[in-house]
Amino acid sequence: MKKTLLTLAGALAFSTALSAPAAAIGLVDIYVSPPTTEANKASTLAKGADYLKLLGLQTISMEDFETYTPGSNANSINTKVGTFTGTTAGQNTGVSGLRVLNAATRPKNFGGRYDMVGGANWLDSNDYKTVTWDAAAGGKGFTHVGFYLTDVNDVSAKLKVKATGQTIDMPLGVSGKGGSLDSGTNFFVGFGLGATYELLSITFTQTAGNDGFGIDGVVLAQVPEPATLGLLGAGLLAAGALRRRRKAA
């Protein structure tokens, strides 16, 4: 199935209930926000919120890494949205594994990575070439994925995100060496899975071993079930009837 890259306006066309097919149909509702700077990250946050809202998604689980000790590291890190694992190492940074960082524990050469959601922490790739995310929400089903990335593609490398056998290329810029983005660029990535999953492997792959990234505000979401929508509609009708009775009284 051909990938579709959405603008937020175009996403309105996809804001309908998605019934889970027997098998995945490929990625849908793909949206990558325009890259911007740390000073303008509020714009990116707004676009991420709009993506969830325009598609009528319910957040099943969200991770902002604020409960982790800044500076901690491990090859695999278990979170509220599944397990992140460093699977292919890049350059030697002096510390092994993935890392949870904040501004105080961030190495000098990681200066383009920063918190997007929650106030302080983010998960850092530590310049691993491949990071695997086994996405899960405690046994609950999800149909959509969303997250914020920082400092991607700033040293002539290219980051690719792969899920359900399809690959999304992260944006490149016109500034910087080789068309790279400027250091510290951020953007939101969201996509639908074409089916409901309780566990899904997603990979982040860099073409170079010296171009890491930060990830934050990771969301697993779903389109409301038809029954839930029916209950919501009934609730709205009941609320309307109650208002009419009060006016009549």
Bridge partner residues of 221 (DSSP): 59, 144
What's the pTM?
0.80
Residue of 131, 210, 196, 204 whose CA lies nearest to 170:
204
pLDDT digits (tens, 9 = 90+) for 108-127: 878 899 999 999 999 999 98
Q: Please report which helix (H) or strand (E) contains residue 115, including its range.
A: none
pLDDT digits (tens, 9 = 90+) for 140-196: 999 999 999 998 876 666 888 999 889 998 876 544 455 577 778 999 999 999 999
DSSP H or E stretch at residue 1? none
Of the segments 10-14, 87-91, 171-175, which one has the largest average pLDDT value? 87-91
The DSSP line for 151-183 is S-S-SS--EEEEETTEEEEPP--SSSGGGPPPT
Average pLDDT over residues 197-210: 87
126-146 per-position pLDDT tens digit = 989 999 999 999 999 999 999
